[in-house]
Amino acid sequence: MKKNTIRRWLCMAMAAIVSVSVLAGCATGEQPSSGSTSGNAGIGGTTGEVISSKDEMTIAVYGTVQSMFPGNDSKLPGAQLHTNLYDTLVTMDKEGNIQPLLAESWEQLSETTYRFRLRKGVKFHNGDELTAQDVAFTFATLKETPGSQSNTAQFDPDNFVIEDDYTIVLATYEPFAPFLGTLCHATMSVFQQSFYEEHLAAGDLDLVENGTGPFKLVEWNEGENIVVERFDDYFNGPAKMRAINFRYIPEISTRLMELESGGVDLIQEVSGTVMEDIKSNPDLTLWECSGVNTSYLALNFDRITDTKVRKAIGHSIDNNLLCSVCLLGAAEPLNDYLPSTVPGAYSTGGFEYNPELARQLLAEAGYPDGFKLELSFYTSADNRRMGEFLQNMMAESGITVILNEMDSSAYTPMLNAREQTAAILTTVCTLRDPHQTLGKLYSDLVGPGGNRVNYIDPDLDAMLDEAVAETDSEKRLELYADIQQYLYDRVVYIPLYNMKTMTATTSKIRGFDLILPTNYQKYNNVYFVE
């Protein structure tokens, strides 16, 4: 396979969960806040707590699941569900360190090969045992699956070696530093070869599941709800909840009402509009943390070529005010290309809000009377509020923002074709690796899924190639620091904000964890107290 082809697929969706919107969320770290007791107490709870007999939980989700097959659904609602139905070879702890899951141990044999030893006795939901053949088949299949080809782009199935039923050597074409982190992604969940082949032939692969996770699918009413039940033979012990009902409730106001009334026990994707209501309610707990969901102003290099104009736009936006007033505290100002939650984040100093400097730069660029900027977004109340806020703010710098509100069916094709002048681009660094975000800027990714700003730079390509192949962690982070400064100097993207991850629960929940850096919440340790 050609190097450029490998790189293209890797970076087009390595993040696997990338959205182009104004408001979204992703997480690392957690902090509960409410007037009630909260936290991750073990069975028995804190002193004086009594374990409830309630063994069914209802969760309000904001989006719908597209497929039960992980390789066909990389969006957050699907990935969240799959994390509870399937397992990956390895996972991440709170600090982003790689930990065993289906693989009990591993070793790097060379720059391009890794040996994994699987746990013995791991059962699929149909009772069959997991083997190395299933692992080899999983990654070879995902390499040919459009929804997951990105994560497996560097995989070299021809050089996979099954040493025995519980030992496999995985290979990559070239040295690839984020390899182990990539294996943590929900789209890399391991599935059974015979089950896959049977249901692929039957044409119902998207409707069925047979994972190794703590829960198994029992009911799916599309567009309404999904019910899962405890898998008693889970290798890590059975879940505390007997069943979980995932209800689709798109509006945050409705999700909150259901939580307050007891109709649901947990709501995902809390926004700033309801944050204070939750904090002030002693019967609810707000779990909030710094995230890995970053938003940038993406200026098309084909349409705005002058660096001074681009810098002027950067100096016309007050990120602090944007977060506190427009987003109501649900986001943190982002002044650099990576959030602080991602290793390798480098401080460039950012674009300080300075309307006077912005006007000066515009004049030097030949726009003494100001500059007109078309800002495109897809139709939603949140996006419209964001657009109007930026419009009013940037007027102080002599920039007239023309809002271009579009139906989502037209918006995404426009971005794929790079026809926007400016848009707010949100990307999620779930794997906490710099390449997941910065790698989208390869010159050969000008096409659907990557490099939405039309930035063509062979020198940057070479820098990215060097960084992603560097296996010395300190040297690698130094390379990414150089890359971030390089991008800042050329105003490739204008950082805006990093969304917090916020989930709300009843105060009776224990064992909940919001700190997985991948943003995928497993619910097998959740229980209720009286």
Query: Hey, where are the domains in the chain?
Result: 291-499
Using the predicted structure, report yes or no on whether residue 346 has a pLDDT greater than 90: yes
Q: How far is CA 142 from the centre of its chain?
A: 19
Exposure of 448 in the CB half-sphere (CA atoms within 13 A): 5
Per-residue pLDDT at 362 = 98
Tokens of 385: 């509020």
Rounded alpha-carbon distances, angstroms, from residue 199 to 127, 148, 195 = 17, 19, 6
Residue 475: count other Cβ atoms within 10 Å of its Cβ. 11
Give the per-residue pLDDT at 126.
Answer: 98
Q: Give the DSSP H or E segment for 239.
A: none
Predicted pLDDT of residue 63? 87
Pick from 206, 205, 227: which is nearest to 215 by CA? 227
Contact 415, 423 (CB under 8 A): yes
Q: What is the pLDDT of residue 157?
A: 97
Q: Are 339 and 294 in contact (CB under 8 A)?
A: yes
3-class state of residue 245 by DSSP: strand
The helix (run of H) or strand (run of E) holding residue 446 is none
pLDDT value at position 448? Answer: 61
pLDDT at 44: 46
Confidence of residue 160 (pLDDT cuts 50, 70, 90): very high
Quick check: pTM over 0.85?
A: no
Residue 292 pLDDT: 78
Tokens in use for 9? 């697929």
Are 371 and 396 in contact by the 8 Å Cβ rule? The answer is no
Range from 150-164, 225-239, 453-467 carrying the lowest mean pLDDT: 150-164
161 bridge partner residues: 169
pLDDT, tens digit, 9 for 90 and up, residues 496-506 = 999 888 899 99
Which pLDDT belongs to residue 430? Answer: 74
Averaged confidence pLDDT in the chain: 88
pLDDT (average), residues 296-323: 96
User: Residue 378 has what pLDDT?
Assistant: 85
What six digits make up the tokens of 459?
């020198």
Residues facing 427 on adjacent strands: 18, 294
Look up tokens 């690839």; give the residue: 176
> Which amino acid is residue 42, in one-letter code?
G
Pick from 89, 115, 107: nearest CA to 184: 89
For the segment 385-391, the average pLDDT, to the nearest whole number, is: 94
Q: What is the pLDDT of residues 20-56, one digit of tens each?
A: 333 333 333 344 554 333 333 334 445 578 999 999 9
Residues 431-435: what's their mean pLDDT? 85
Q: Quick one: average pLDDT of 145-174? A: 90
pLDDT score for 14:
38
Q: How confident is the model at residue 447 (pLDDT cuts 50, 70, 90)?
A: low
Choosing among 3.30.70.1280, 3.40.50.300, 3.40.630.30, 3.10.105.10, the CATH entry for 291-499 is: 3.10.105.10
Determine phi and psi for 245, rounding to 5 degrees: -110, 115
Which phi and psi angles does 403 have, rounded to 5°? -80, 130
Q: How confident is the model at residue 6 (pLDDT cuts 50, 70, 90)?
A: very low
Q: Could you tell me the maximum CA-CA distance found in the chain, to the nearest angstrom?
A: 73
Identify whether the C-beta of residue 510 lies closer than 8 Å to the C-beta of residue 312. no
Distance CA 54, CA 242 (A): 9
DSSP bridge pairs for 333:
497
How is residue 166 written in tokens? 């519980």
What amino acid is encoded at 101 in this protein? Answer: L
pLDDT digits (tens, 9 = 90+) for 73-115: 877 788 889 999 999 999 988 777 899 999 999 999 999 999 9
228 and 80 Cβ atoms separated by less than 8 Å: no
d(CA 39, CA 42): 9
Whether 178 and 433 have beta carbons less than 8 Å apart is answered as yes
Tokens of 418: 């790079």
Q: 85-94, 364-373, 436-445: lowest mean pLDDT where?
A: 436-445
Q: Calculate what percentage of the chain has a pLDDT beyond 70.
A: 89
pLDDT (tens digit per residue) in 219-269: 999 999 999 999 999 999 999 999 999 999 999 999 999 999 999 999 988
Q: What is the pLDDT of residue 32?
A: 55
**Parallel/antiparallel/unpaired status of strands 167-171 and 113-118:** antiparallel
Predicted confidence at residue 210, as pLDDT, reads: 98
10-24, 272-286, 309-323, 502-516: lowest mean pLDDT where?
10-24
pLDDT for 150: 67
- Token pair of 332, please? 């943190």
- What pLDDT was estimated at residue 517? 54
pLDDT at 99: 93
pLDDT, average across residues 311-330: 95
Cβ atoms of 130 and 189 closer than 8 Å: no
